[in-house]
Amino acid sequence: MTFVVSGKNPFTDVHTGEYYAESVGWAVNHDPVVTTGTSATTFEPKATCTRAQIVTFLWRALGEPVPSSTTNPFADVPSDAYYYKAVLWAVENGVTNGVDATHFGSNKGCTRGQVVTFMWRAFGQPEPESAATLFTDVKADQYYYKPILWAVENGITNGTSATTFEPNATCTRGQIVTFLCRGMVPEPKEFPVNVLGDEFLIYVEDVFNITDRGTVISGRVTNGKVKVGDKIVIYSWDDSGNLLAIDAEVKTIEMFKKLLDEAEKGDNVGIQVGDSSLKDQIQRGAAIVKAGSRLKPYTGKYVGTVWSDPKHRTTPMTEENKFQYYVATTDVTGNFLDMNYSSFSDDRNIYPGETREGVVIELTRPLLVYQGMEITIRGGGQTFGTFTVTGRQR
């Protein structure tokens, strides 16, 4: 997107480089106009957005659909108000109700939880991919639980930190137009990828059966802690590459021939995960997390930074190349989809010694990949460089 309003940006309080700058441009250039400034030269991006404003912005972004009813139960929604039709449409379509039977709460500030809920309902209440959230302040029994999962998965908004969303914090005008723009503009967007936090994670290096004990996996704990008796999920795949989610339990933990009660990050351990029937279902490279973990595998495209090793790569990497990507403990085939060459004129090559951000690769198997993970690029028995994960695409 490019910020164009009659050839220039008229707003003295909207500066190039601010996260909302392009979204403001989208809002004031949309047909119909989603919102104008608060004056000819100000937008007030940090001003609180009201309930009347958000339903109006959303209604306009969707093309100003005409409500079928003219019945208005709200004393604070006069028929000559700019938000009159928008409120009737929102209530009629289940986007939101009033704050009580006779009041809409037009001038009340709109919260982050309310905004994503209004958008989610207006877009048909799509089911989120995930059933778990990273945010400690977003509980499963709250009305905004699924909307927040959906909004984060679709790149509409992130949390205010790695573990908080602050659903009750009021939204600003800059935030509102940014959420709407990200939800409405049909272009590839970078989506969040797993964030480790303190979650337990181990990748399987080897799997074998021990007589009278059952299936044991070995590996180095990547993150977090696990105890004997913990319920776990093993994310593996079948012979066709289809994802398997295997429920199991930590029976024993062993390190250097000693039994342990728990293992933590950095420990090289053997973990008994069940009886001997499990062995054939678990592959090298499978990821093990605790039951209920927010970490999960994704299939498809990842965004990251590529570094081409000049010691081992003498020719440029191109979008036509197919490489092996060493992810944790296993190789998987992958393709370059986008070398982000637009910012490097039309050069589609990544040259030896070069580092390039915003590159997209596609992995052919569902794997548990996390933010900041370093994936080795290999081919013909040689290491050609690294791919450091920053996000994912769909």
Q: What is the pLDDT of residues 314-361, one digit of tens each?
A: 888 887 778 899 999 999 988 887 776 544 444 668 889 988 888 888
State whether 179 and 102 are in the same domain.
Answer: yes
State whether 117 and 160 are in the same domain.
Answer: yes
Q: Please choose, from the candidates 162, 195, 218, the residue with its C-alpha nearest in 3D space to the C-alpha of residue 373.
A: 195
State whether 239 and 360 are in the same domain.
Answer: no
Within a domain: residue 4? no
Using alpha carbons only, give the angle 64, 70, 75 rounded to the nearest 5 degrees: 100
> Which amino acid does the sequence have at 15?
H
CB 224 within 8 A of CB 195: no
Domain end among 290, 323, 343: 290
Distance between CA atoms of 384 and 307, rounded to whole angstroms? Answer: 9
Using a cut of 0.75, tell me whether the model's pTM lies above it. no
Name, in order, each residue with C-beta under 8 angstroms of 99's C-beta and a sequence gap of 6 or more.
Answer: 105, 108
**Mean pLDDT of the chain, nearest integer:** 87
Within a domain: residue 230? yes
State whether 213 and 173 are in the same domain.
Answer: no
Total domains, the chain? 3
190 pLDDT more than 70: no
State whether 35 and 180 are in the same domain.
Answer: yes
Distance between CA atoms of 276 and 272, rounded to whole angstroms? Answer: 10
Query: What are residue 124's phi and psi, to 5 degrees?
Result: 95, 15
Domain that includes residue 371, residue range: 298-393
Q: How many CB atoms lie within 10 A of CB 2?
A: 7
pLDDT at site 341: 56
User: Which helix or strand (DSSP H or E) is residue 113 part of?
Assistant: helix 112-122
Domain end among 244, 267, 290: 290
Q: What is the CA radius of gyration of the chain?
A: 25
281 pLDDT more than 80: yes
199 pLDDT more than 60: yes
Q: Do the bridges between strand 382-393 and strand 268-274 make them parallel or antiparallel, or are there none, so unpaired?
A: unpaired
